[in-house]
Amino acid sequence: MASRLAKKPIVIPGKVQVTSAEGVLTVKGSKATLSRAIHSSINIEVTPEGIVITPKNSSRLSHALTGTFAAHAKAMIKGVEEPFKKNLILTGVGYKVELKGKELVFAVGFSHPVALTIPEGITATVAKNTISIEGADKQAVGQFAAEIRQVKKPEPYLGKGIAYEGEVIRRKQGKKAV
């Protein structure tokens, strides 16, 4: 059973150029160029109708990967025209973050500041207690956002920590005085 995503060719917008050669899918847009290695058990063809992804054999893996790569291709096409964006919010008294060159430096209640290096192809901006991450590669943006959140996860009693914008933090009741 092939993926529903990969059944129809993926439409390529006018401004985007897509090439598939030597096991690498390259998507070039007005703002960025992304490339991703193609797994050996699937076949990617660029036709006038769009990107056609087919399994090379009838194994479960190759059928599963058709959908995965269809999703990757769609994300790459979207990302080269309009960057993906994630916002994180820092909550807590005395918690702060600052941008020092290619590093984000956090002061989040530890005895030492925590520094994270911003990966290539990603831009981070800091405004008061909000961190915005932008980039053409959806996976890289999500991964870096997760790494930032990992520095100090939001805790359930006071809600202090680093959370995604719009994330719901389950709150617990503290100790009760008798």
- For the cut 70, the answer to whether the pLDDT of residue 1 exceeds it is no
Report which of 79, 39, 75 is spatially closest to residue 59, judged by C-alpha positions: 39
| 24-35 confidence digits (pLDDT tens) | 999 998 888 899
Residues 57 and 10 placed together within one structural domain of the fold = yes
- C-alpha 46/C-alpha 162 separation (Å) is 42
pLDDT of 145-154, one tens digit each? 999 999 999 9
Judge if 133 and 70 occupy the same domain.
no
Residue 20's pLDDT is what?
A: 87
Predicted local confidence at residue 71, as pLDDT:
92
β partners of residue 35? 26
The domain in which residue 51 lies consists of 4-81
Q: What is the pTM of this model?
A: 0.86
- Considering the domain architecture, whether residues 12 and 66 belong to the same structural domain is answered as yes
Reading the block at residue 85, the tokens are 């964006």
Is residue 160 domain-shared with residue 91, that is, in the same domain?
Answer: yes
| Mean pLDDT, the chain, whole residue set | 90
- Calculate what percentage of the chain has a pLDDT beyond 90: 52
